[in-house]
């Protein structure tokens, strides 16, 4: 195998008459560990794979048509600036065209084509196009590199092949045969099996037949009491079991640990719309993310040497499940009982795993984001003072991070969790330069990251409010407010669950000239331009910080109340992936591949097996 940084893509178009578009996706021409339906009716499927070292990538797309098909990689879900690939099968040959979009219009052909067409066919009402490209953007002005950021995959297709030798503007997909979906293409999740000798049990969280309202997007919150454990156990796996028929409606599920038992026990087991005035106050005490799953994602499996503890006095007794329902076709018949299954064992593993909240403490007047901002940075530290004292308290030399969950709300543009040691910025722990609030999932690290005594973490959120907000946005739990947090999954477990900071209120207000309520109102209502946004961002980054280093009421000894802003003396310079080996000069067409068993759907294969079995029984 050529050890190039390559991306292999395949596009498949198919008629639903030949496979089931329900829970089981159509079978790809080879094994693909990643797949997702890009549209609500599940006519458009995307499959891909890559190696652990991010060398090879494969896409496969299924669309209900025998015409041309196109897929693109976009930063925001629009055509402008996207990298586009168009393929079709015609007169015994498969064709592929490398393109880019300079506007929301017909995409011109790339000056240099960097796609390697591997195969193509039309079988059983399905068109298959498979091709490869490098992960790097080999043509700097027209190709987009494939990264670990959230990618918006755009798609479009026509009902007929191009009439000429290439696609032209008149081969328009129309207003219906197009769309986009957010995907993490370079997902490092390790789908390891849990050891069979651990004597596993499980408990399920379900919304138990919730009638989903007839709205485009709905967030449901439900509080659960955990089983009454008589001794310590370890959670080793968390997986979604999505009710058949609703695979494209259950968009994401996030499970939060609650700090205390609810004061009103009647709220337990009640379905409530999240982040509204009617949400019970007890729900707002559940902020620490335990697990997060998003459509297209798989189970969360803990490292074999660590498990999340339950059953001790320090462990949570209540948890909150947030379910995001996506209902673009405004269905009125969604009655969902999907499940998040927690597998646990009493055979304890070597380490307790923990979750550490890192970032900007949620506060309405110390996270202030101006309107009309193209970029507004909000840094928050998990200080070396906090981490060192928490490690010393338990005599730990270090902790090891294996996963991380980045979180802000709708004006968050890019999120980053930095790792600093003695002023030197080490490789980033997690980063997403194309954050999508409606696509949230834990990021699994390809290698565990070691955090030592003396290290610091810094959470940096970059907000973009231009064209979105005309008034100041403040911190808060509502989706109209903002957050800047990272939920770090690590082991061994510390006695703290929060390592946050925020600007010290007097220092912040003094820096911008706020002396009383009147000047505060004036500040919030002022007219903002790019210069004033940048000036305020610089001031926010330079003031003293109040830190929060605790778990409920427990604070490690020798933790300071105030900390100075983190200074990075040596910024990290990430390596830029380069094109290697052959990147152009590939043939734009290959002979059409003949149809074979590899293109049968899973349901069709099952039917064939059952028919053969029945025939064998009758003949016996």
Q: How far apart are CA 287 and CA 362, in angstroms?
A: 10
In Å, how far are 27, 156, 233, 495 from 78, measured between CA atoms? Answer: 29, 12, 47, 45
Please name the residue that has the structure tokens 């778990």.
551
Residue 560 bridge partners (DSSP): none
Active-site annotation holds for 234:
no
Assigned token pair, 59: 């896409």
The whole-angstrom separation of Cα 612 and Cα 619 is: 10
3-state secondary structure of 533: helix
Exposed e or buried b per residue across 406-425, where buried means at least 16 C-beta atoms within 10 angstroms of its C-beta: bbbbbbbbbbbbbbbeeeeb
**Residues 118 and 30 sit within 8 Å (Cβ to Cβ):** no
User: Measured between alpha carbons, how far is 71 from 59 in angstroms, rounded to an integer?
Assistant: 10
Instruction: Specify whether 219 is catalytic.
Output: yes
Which token pair is 569? 């003396």
- Do residues 202 and 342 make contact, with C-beta atoms less than 8 angstroms apart? yes
198 backbone dihedrals φ, ψ, rounded to 5°? -95, 0
Catalytic residue among 54, 234, 407, 481: 407
Query: Do the beta carbons of residue 567 and residue 379 sit within 8 Å?
Result: no
Contact 231/311 with Cβ under 8 angstroms?
Answer: yes
Report the candidate in 355, 379, 459 with the shortest Cα–Cα distance to residue 417: 459
Q: Which residues pair with 357 in a beta bridge?
A: 487, 498
Is 305 within 8 Å of 352 (Cβ atoms)?
no
Query: Rounded CA gap, 23 and 243, in Å?
Result: 9
CB atoms inside a 10 Å sphere around CB 557: 7
The dihedral sign for the CA sequence 514, 519, 525, 529: negative
Phi-psi region of 557 (alpha: psi -120 to 50; beta: other; left: phi over 0): beta
Distance CA 129, CA 119 (A): 6
**505 phi and psi, to 5 degrees?**
-60, -45
b/e per residue 449-461 (b: at least 16 CB within 10 A)? bebeeebbbbbbb
HSE, side-chain direction, 13 A CA sphere, residue 142: 15
CA distances from 52 to 115, 132, 304, 326 (A): 22, 17, 19, 31
Please identify which of the residues 95, 219, 302, 490 carries the catalytic annotation: 219
Radius of gyration of the chain (CA): 26
Three-class DSSP category at 485: strand
Catalytic residues: 219, 407
């Amino acid at each position: 195998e050529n050890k190039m940084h390559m991306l292999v893509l395949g596009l498949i178009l198919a008629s639903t008459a030949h496979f089931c578009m329900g829970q089981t996706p159509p079978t790809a021409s080879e094994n693909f560990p990643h797949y997702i339906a890009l549209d609500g009716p599940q006519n458009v499927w995307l499959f891909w794979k890559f190696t652990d070292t991010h060398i090879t990538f494969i896409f496969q797309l299924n669309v209900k048509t025998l015409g041309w098909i196109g897929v693109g990689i976009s930063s925001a879900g629009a055509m402008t600036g996207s990298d586009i690939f168009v393929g079709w099968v015609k007169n015994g040959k498969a064709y592929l065209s490398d393109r880019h979009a300079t506007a929301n219009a017909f995409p011109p052909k790339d000056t240099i084509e960097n796609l390697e067409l591997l195969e193509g066919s039309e079988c059983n009402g399905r068109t298959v196009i498979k091709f490869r490209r490098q992960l790097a953007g080999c043509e700097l002005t027209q190709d987009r590199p494939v990264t670990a950021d959230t990618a918006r995959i755009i798609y479009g297709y026509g009902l007929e092949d191009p009439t000429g030798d290439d696609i032209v503007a008149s081969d328009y997909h129309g207003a219906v045969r197009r769309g986009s979906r957010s995907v993490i293409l370079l997902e490092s999740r390790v789908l390891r099996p849990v050891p069979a000798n651990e004597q596993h049990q499980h408990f399920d969280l379900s919304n138990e037949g919730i009638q989903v309202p007839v709205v485009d997007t709905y967030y449901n919150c439900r509080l659960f009491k955990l089983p009454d454990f008589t001794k310590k156990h370890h959670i080793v796996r968390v997986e979604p079991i999505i009710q058949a028929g609703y695979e494209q409606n259950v968009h994401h599920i996030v499970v939060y640990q609650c700090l205390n038992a609810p004061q009103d026990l009647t709220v337990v087991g009640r379905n409530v719309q999240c982040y509204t005035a009617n949400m019970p106050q007890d729900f707002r005490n559940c902020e620490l993310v335990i697990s997060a799953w998003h459509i297209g994602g798989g189970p969360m499996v803990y490292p074999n040497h660590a498990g999340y503890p339950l059953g001790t006095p320090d462990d949570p007794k209540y948890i909150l499940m947030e379910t995001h329902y996506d209902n673009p076709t405004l269905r009125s018949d969604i009655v969902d009982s999907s499940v998040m299954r927690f597998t646990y064992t009493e055979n304890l593993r070597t380490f307790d795993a923990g979750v550490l909240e890192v970032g900007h403490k949620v506060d309405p007047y110390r996270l202030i984001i101006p309107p009309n901002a193209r970029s507004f940075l909000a840094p928050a530290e998990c200080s070396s003072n906090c981490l060192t004292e928490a490690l010393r308290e338990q005599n730990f030399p270090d902790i090891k991070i294996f996963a991380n969950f980045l979180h802000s709300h709708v004006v968050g543009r890019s999120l980053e969790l930095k790792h600093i040691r003695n002023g030197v910025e080490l490789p980033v722990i997690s980063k997403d330069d194309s954050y999508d609030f409606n696509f949230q999932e834990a990021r699994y690290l390809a290698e565990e990251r070691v955090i030592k005594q003396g290290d610091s973490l810094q959470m940096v959120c970059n907000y973009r409010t231009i064209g979105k907000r005309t008034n100041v946005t403040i911190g808060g739990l509502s989706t109209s407010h903002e957050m800047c947090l990272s939920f770090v999954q690590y082991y061994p477990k510390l006695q703290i669950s929060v390592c946050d900071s925020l600007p010290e209120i007097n220092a912040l207000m003094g820096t911008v000239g706020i002396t009383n309520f009147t000047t505060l109102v004036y500040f919030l209502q002022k007219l903002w331009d790019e210069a004033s946004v940048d000036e305020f961002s610089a001031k926010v980054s330079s003031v003293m910080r109040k830190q929060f280093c605790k778990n409920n009421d427990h604070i490690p000894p020798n933790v300071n109340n105030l900390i100075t802003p983190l200074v990075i003396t040596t910024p990290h310079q990430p390596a830029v992936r380069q094109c290697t080996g052959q990147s152009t000069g590939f043939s734009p067409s290959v002979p059409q591949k003949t149809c074979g068993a590899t293109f049968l759907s899973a349901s069709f294969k099952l039917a064939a097996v059952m028919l053969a079995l029945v025939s064998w029984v009758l003949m016996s």
